[in-house]
């Protein structure tokens, strides 16, 4: 087993979603909080892809933002290559952050429309590397070619590109400071499938050539199956199952994972009838007691609505479900 590049321990983020003070006093309401991420633990091996999958409100993007330092955790730790991002010295943090970059979901909103592509791609070089203007220009050209664009594209503006090409620009920017770890937040969900295939293939080629480590966030299990080495499943802020890709798809242990895999549409599922789960994702401000999934779970037992399941580990997979409270039975 490889050493892990990223380790996340008991990561928690609570948002205050209370109404303004005066409204609260007048309506005699208490403060309200939303636990977006609740004690999440995982680690990512160097050079591998860890996918976080979950539906809306599961806390995927909040975790991504905490890993790149756009949000600070309420509690818990993020270690990147041994550096604790919350407590390390400023010099350590800035040298570590240079090695982390992010690819965003919306290729239309994440590129400044008034900047030329070469300035967008070159910005991390200016921020993190002390290089001359000619070296910078050379590096930008290399990056553009690496992601399948031409060096002439550097002089253009983002509106001159299609969605897939814009996402390539976003990838080139993410690679500019020679990072090791890239957080990808739904990088292809805004793209058409033929273009999605181009971008996913490109990301895999870059990983192989540059030895990158990815945290891949998505709601699309088919993409997970294609990209990930290890998969974590989130539900309402809790990591309910984490397993190597093949094991997760072959023998999902948590009823929610089983449901997700069953509900995903399949290209070969002709006329398939789903046994769809009841209900929808509950309000995260007042989540169900005990296991968050129990109101929708077909396999629930009596204790599920009172007892929060503890995480059970076996080999390199983990599950938190009362059905597996005596260790994993698969």
Residues that bind other proteins (CB under 8 A): 55-56, 162-165, 192-198, 200-201, 204, 219-226, 246, 249, 259-274, 276-277, 280-281
Tell me the closest approach of the beta carbon of residue 268 to other proteins, in angstroms. Answer: 6
Which runs of consecutive H residues, i.e. helices, occur in the chain? 21-27, 60-68, 90-97, 117-128, 133-146, 163-175, 193-210, 221-227, 245-250, 255-263
Tell me the closest approach of the beta carbon of residue 62 to other proteins, in angstroms. Answer: 17
Contacts with 258 (C-beta within 8 Å, 6 or more apart), sequence order? 252
Contact assessment for residue 101 and residue 177, using Cβ atoms and an 8 Å cutoff: yes
CB neighbourhood size of 182 (10 A): 25
Tell me the closest approach of the beta carbon of residue 208 to other proteins, in angstroms. Answer: 10
Nearer to other proteins, 157 or 249 (CB): 249
Tell me the closest approach of the beta carbon of residue 275 to other proteins, in angstroms. Answer: 9
Contact assessment for residue 126 and residue 205, using Cβ atoms and an 8 Å cutoff: no
Tell me the closest approach of the beta carbon of residue 296 to other proteins, in angstroms. Answer: 8
- Residue 31 carries which DSSP code? P
Tell me the closest approach of the beta carbon of residue 195 to other proteins, in angstroms. Answer: 6
Instruction: Return the closest-CA partner of residue 8 out of 36, 70, 50.
Output: 50
Nearer to other proteins, 43 or 189 (CB): 189
Locus of tokens 């983002």: 158
Nearer to other proteins, 209 or 273 (CB): 273
3-state secondary structure of 197: helix
CB neighbourhood size of 163 (10 A): 17
Nearer to other proteins, 246 or 289 (CB): 246
Nearer to other proteins, 91 or 276 (CB): 276
Structural element, H or E, at residue 35? strand 33-45
Nearer to other proteins, 188 or 320 (CB): 188
Nearer to other proteins, 79 or 292 (CB): 292
Tell me the closest approach of the beta carbon of residue 201 to other proteins, in angstroms. Answer: 5
Tell me the C-alpha distance between 184 and 200, whole Å.
11
Tell me the C-alpha distance between 8 and 273, whole Å.
39
Nearer to other proteins, 24 or 219 (CB): 219
Tell me the closest approach of the beta carbon of residue 182 to other proteins, in angstroms. Answer: 18
What Cα–Cα distance (Å) separates residue 183 from each residue in 6, 49, 100, 137, 203?
11, 10, 8, 25, 12
Tell me the C-alpha distance between 60 and 50, whole Å.
12
Residue 329 is encoded by which pair of tokens?
């039975």
Nearer to other proteins, 200 or 314 (CB): 200
Instruction: Return the closest-CA partner of residue 291 out of 23, 38, 7, 4.
Output: 38
Tell me the closest approach of the beta carbon of residue 120 to other proteins, in angstroms. Answer: 20
């Amino acid at each position: 087993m490889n050493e892990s590049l990223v380790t996340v321990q008991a990561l928690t983020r609570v948002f205050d979603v209370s109404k303004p003070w005066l409204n609260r006093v007048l309506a005699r309401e208490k403060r309200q909080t939303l636990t977006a991420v609740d004690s999440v633990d995982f680690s990512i091996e160097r050079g591998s892809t860890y996918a976080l999958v979950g539906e809306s409100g599961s806390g995927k993007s909040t975790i991504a933002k905490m890993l790149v330092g756009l949000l600070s955790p309420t509690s818990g730790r993020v270690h990147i290559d041994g550096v604790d991002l919350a407590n390390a010295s400023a010099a350590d943090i800035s040298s570590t952050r240079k090695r982390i970059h992010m690819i965003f979901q919306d290729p239309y909103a994440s590129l400044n429309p008034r900047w030329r592509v070469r300035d967008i791609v070159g910005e991390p070089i200016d921020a993190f590397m002390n290089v001359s203007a000619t070296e910078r220009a050379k590096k930008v050209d290399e990056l553009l070619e690496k992601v399948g664009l031409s060096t002439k594209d550097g002089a253009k503006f983002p509106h001159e590109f299609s969605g897939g090409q814009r996402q390539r620009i976003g990838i080139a920017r993410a690679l500019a400071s020679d990072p090791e770890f890239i957080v990808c937040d739904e990088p292809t969900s805004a793209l058409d499938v033929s273009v999605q295939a181009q971008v996913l293939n490109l990301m895999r080629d870059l990983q192989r050539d540059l030895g990158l480590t990815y945290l891949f966030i998505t709601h699309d299990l088919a993409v997970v199956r294609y990209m990930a080495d290890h998969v974590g499943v989130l539900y309402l802020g809790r990591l309910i199952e984490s397993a190597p890709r093949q094991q997760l798809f072959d023998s999902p242990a948590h009823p929610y994972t089983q449901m997700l895999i069953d509900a995903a549409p399949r290209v070969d599922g002709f006329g398939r009838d789903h046994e769809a789960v009841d209900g929808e994702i509950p309000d995260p401000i007042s989540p169900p007691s005990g296991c968050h999934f129990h109101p929708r779970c077909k396999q629930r037992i009596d204790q599920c609505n009172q007892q929060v399941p503890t995480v059970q580990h076996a080999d390199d997979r983990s599950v938190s479900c009362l059905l597996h409270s005596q260790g994993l039975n698969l």
